Amino acid sequence: MVEPWRVREQELHLDVLAQTESVFALANGHVGLRGNLDEGEPFGLPGSYLNSFHELRRLPYPEPGYGDPRQEQRLVNVTNGKLIRLRLTTASGCGRRHTDEYCR
């Protein structure tokens, strides 16, 4: 069944994790977040991006022409603020478990 405006991932494929993070990325023009898993691991390339937080690089030309840009702007990955971890020190048997179902 085709569901318009819905993107789903029924299985986790670690070999294409970085690509699916790009597919599930969210942005609103001010903040951009890659579609990493909520648990934080595994990950392809965790990323949080802020509008106007960038680095400037000079663009050298062998023969500069009129209208050529003198510098470029590249977005820089900022500290990942999406991850929240809950640690229980008194519980026994905590750790990684097998997942019966997966969908996002």
Domain ranges of the chain: 1-104
Residue 66 burial (CB < 10 Å; 0-12/13-18/19+)? Answer: exposed
- Average per-residue pLDDT for the chain: 83
pLDDT > 70 fraction of the chain, expressed in percent and rounded: 89
**pLDDT at 56 exceeding the cut of 90:** yes
| CATH of segment(s) 1-104 | 2.70.98.40
pTM metric for this prediction = 0.63
Higher-scoring residue by pLDDT: 23, 86: 23
pLDDT at 77: 86
